[in-house]
């Protein structure tokens, strides 16, 4: 068995979710794990990938055509480099989700999305119906195309000795799509998907300004801030903070849900958190059915009090 | 410009799925079924493109059982011009669905194909990307804004760090995110009119697609349930519990 893991990065840093995909590769039990780093000026990413535990080889395709890693040419590139692999893995981030099905279709294989555990080299568990059911899926495809839910696999550690880095000058041009620009949200707080503590606000926050209450508390706890769909739709915060079935999946040590009712779609994104706290004035809110500690209170009183007493 | 939109019949998003006792799947008997929410957004976007004079015809297609006609009629009541059902009672995986859709794309030659980003039952998030690969078209997934001009689609996508804008040459595939639009409701007169619209039925055989899959669902089980928590009386007790019992802060 030989596994190819596709690295996600911004040409400077390896995305942490890739370390979890490498952990899944390890559990599948490959004899050989190689990592593909395709980008533009991505040498430092290749160095980081080479230091990851369990990696035997890093293949670097460094060319301007891969700058924004659009799926149209990256998928073709992966297809050409996947020859002989038994599995191709990528983390189930928005980038991985966009890319992998394109690869799978080009290879004419079915894909297993967002696995949460590995039973053996061809059998995996994955959540369906917004996490209300867990399916055990067996793939008999010659090459298994898989995306990995990062929160379900502890990232691999880094090691001293480096794996071999090999350059590949294969160039696959992209004629169908073009990158125009991006608007990334900048924040000093930890990344939502990897933070140890997440504080999320919902419709109960009433306005974007009131999210300051959560930011203050988050800064004191070193936490990331998330949101429910209702809070995003109401324009309180940007969409990349959404936690849930269609947003980000988080599994922190502590998840504090403030003014969030706890709809099925939200629970899908956070119910694997170690400890869940709910602060809500509606004692019938479904969030209390999954909360380890529930406080029925007005958030506008409870949150500042929480903040001041820490 | 012709727009093709795909719709899927799924369990209603408000219904909590229940796993069958024999672990063979989720119990869908007597459960409310609806159009997948992301597909509704795709239909709405197509209708808006028609209202702006950009789209001239909207064809809506579904792959599924006979009952999926209901969702096609809903899409036609919302403004689609005609429907196609590729009828199959099998629980198809995403790759054969993408192949069937490719067959429809070849027959219809649309300029733009809109799909939801994922269905809320299988949560695969695969079909649009697979169809793009099979058809050889560019793709923009997770769209929150679409502008069509000069044979190109400018699409703003929701990505992990924020938003990204790409430009695609048409024909192209776009999958919709929740923020793209707010779907309208079908009015009664439009529901009546939709009954007269053309609905073609096709079979996988007619499209020459082998619907076999290399995926097998071994079992479906309910997720581990969380132990019931406690109610704390005030903020002091909450802080105490988090510090001394859960030890998370």
Per-window interface: A 247-286 vs B, CB < 8 A? 248, 253-254, 264-265, 271, 274-277
Q: What is the pLDDT of residues B87-129, one digit of tens each?
A: 999 999 999 999 999 999 999 999 999 999 999 999 999 999 9
Q: Which residue has the tokens 């009952």?
A: B67
CA distances from A143 to A18, A29, A105, A110 (A): 20, 15, 12, 9
Q: What is the pLDDT of residues A147-177, one digit of tens each?
A: 999 999 999 999 989 999 999 999 999 989 9
Token readout for B126 is 């695969």
Q: What is the pLDDT of residues A36-86, one digit of tens each?
A: 999 999 999 999 999 999 999 999 999 999 999 999 999 999 999 999 999
Per-window interface: B 30-49 vs A, CB < 8 A? 38
CB-facing half-sphere around the CA of B128: CA atoms within 13 A: 34
- Residue A83 has what pLDDT? 93
pTM over 0.90: yes
Taking the Cβ of residue A124 and every Cβ of chain B, the question of whether any pair is shorter than 8 Å is answered with: no
Phi, psi (degrees; rounded to nearest 5) at B128: -60, -45
When scoring B23, B25, B123 by the number of chain A Cβ atoms within 10 A, the one with the most, hence best to mutate, is B123
Cβ A224 vs Cβ A192: under 8 Å: yes
Quick check: ipTM above 0.90?
yes
Record: contact B16-A264, CB cut-off 8 A: yes
Q: What sign does the CA torsion over A35, A39, A41, A42 have?
A: negative
Does position B226 have pLDDT exceeding 90, yes or no? no
Taking the Cβ of residue A175 and every Cβ of chain B, the question of whether any pair is shorter than 8 Å is answered with: yes
Taking the Cβ of residue A245 and every Cβ of chain B, the question of whether any pair is shorter than 8 Å is answered with: yes
Does position A208 have pLDDT exceeding 90, yes or no? yes
Give the Cα separation of A217 and A205 in Å (integer): 14
Give the Cα separation of B80 and A242 in Å (integer): 31
Taking the Cβ of residue B159 and every Cβ of chain A, the question of whether any pair is shorter than 8 Å is answered with: yes
Per-residue b or e along B97-109, where b marks 16 or more CB atoms closer than 10 Å to that residue's CB: bbbbbbbbbeeee
Q: Which residue has the tokens 């055990």?
A: A136
- Residue B242 has what pLDDT? 97
Rg (CA), chain B: 21
Cβ B86 vs Cβ B202: under 8 Å: yes
Q: Which residues in chain A have their CB less than 8 angstroms from residue B219's CB?
A: 135-136
- Residue A156 has what pLDDT? 97
Taking the Cβ of residue B118 and every Cβ of chain A, the question of whether any pair is shorter than 8 Å is answered with: yes
Q: Which residues in chain A have their CB less than 8 angstroms from residue B41's CB?
A: none
């Amino acid at each position: 068995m030989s596994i190819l893991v596709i690295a996600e990065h911004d040409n400077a840093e390896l995305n942490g979710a890739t370390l979890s995909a490498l952990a899944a590769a390890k559990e599948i039990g490959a004899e050989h794990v190689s990592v593909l780093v395709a980008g533009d000026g991505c040498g430092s990413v290749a160095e980081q990938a080479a230091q990851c535990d369990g990696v035997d080889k890093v293949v670097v395709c460094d060319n301007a055509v891969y700058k924004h890693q659009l799926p149209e040419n990256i998928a073709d590139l992966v297809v050409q480099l996947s020859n002989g692999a038994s599995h191709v893995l990528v983390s189930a981030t928005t980038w991985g989700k966009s890319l992998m099905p394109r690869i799978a279709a080009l290879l004419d294989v079915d894909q297993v999305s967002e696995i949460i555990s590995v039973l053996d080299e061809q059998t995996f568990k994955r959540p369906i119906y917004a996490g209300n059911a867990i399916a055990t899926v067996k793939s008999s495809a010659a090459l298994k195309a898989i995306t990995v839910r990062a929160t379900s696999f502890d990232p691999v550690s880094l090691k001293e000795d480096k794996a071999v880095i090999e350059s590949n000058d294969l160039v696959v041009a992209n004629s169908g799509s073009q990158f125009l620009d991006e608007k990334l949200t900048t924040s000093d707080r930890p990344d939502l998907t990897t933070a140890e503590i997440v504080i999320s606000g919902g419709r109960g926050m009433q306005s974007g300004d009131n999210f300051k209450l959560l930011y203050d508390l988050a800064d004191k706890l070193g936490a990331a801030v998330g949101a429910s769909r209702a809070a995003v739709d109401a324009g309180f915060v940007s969409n990349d903070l959404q936690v849930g079935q269609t947003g980000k999946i988080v599994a922190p040590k502590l998840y504090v849900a403030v003014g969030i009712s706890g709809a099925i779609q939200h629970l899908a994104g956070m119910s694997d958190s170690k400890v869940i706290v709910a602060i809500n004035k509606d004692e019938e809110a479904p969030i209390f059915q999954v909360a380890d500690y529930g406080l029925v209170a007005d958030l506008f009183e409870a949150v500042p009090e929480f903040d001041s007493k820490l | 410009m012709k727009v093709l939109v795909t719709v899927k019949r799924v369990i209603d998003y408000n219904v909590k799925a229940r796993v069958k006792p024999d672990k063979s799947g989720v119990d869908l008997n007597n459960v409310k079924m609806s159009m997948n929410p992301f597909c509704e957004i795709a239909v709405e976007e197509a209708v808006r493109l028609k209202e702006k004079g950009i789209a001239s015809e909207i064809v809506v297609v579904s792959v599924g059982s006979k009952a999926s006609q209901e969702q096609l009629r809903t899409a036609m009541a919302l403004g689609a011009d005609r429907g196609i059902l590729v009828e199959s009672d099998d629980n198809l995986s995403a790759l054969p669905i993408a192949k069937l859709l490719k067959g429809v794309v070849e027959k219809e030659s649309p300029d733009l194909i809109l799909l939801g980003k994922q269905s809320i039952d299988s949560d695969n998030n695969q079909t649009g990307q697979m169809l793009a690969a099979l058809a050889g078209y560019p793709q923009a997934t997770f769209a929150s804004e679409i502008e069509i001009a000069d044979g190109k689609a400018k699409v703003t996508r929701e990505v992990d760090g924020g938003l990204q804008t790409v430009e695609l040459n048409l024909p192209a595939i776009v999958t919709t995110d929740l923020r793209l639009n707010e779907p309208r409701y079908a009015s009664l007169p439009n529901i009546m009119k939709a009954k007269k619209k053309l609905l073609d039925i096709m079979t996988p055989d007619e499209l020459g697609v082998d619907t076999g899959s290399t995926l097998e669902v071994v079992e479906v089980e309910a997720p581990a349930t969380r132990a019931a928590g406690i109610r704390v009386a005030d903020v002091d007790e909450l802080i105490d519990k988090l510090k001394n019992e859960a030890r998370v802060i």
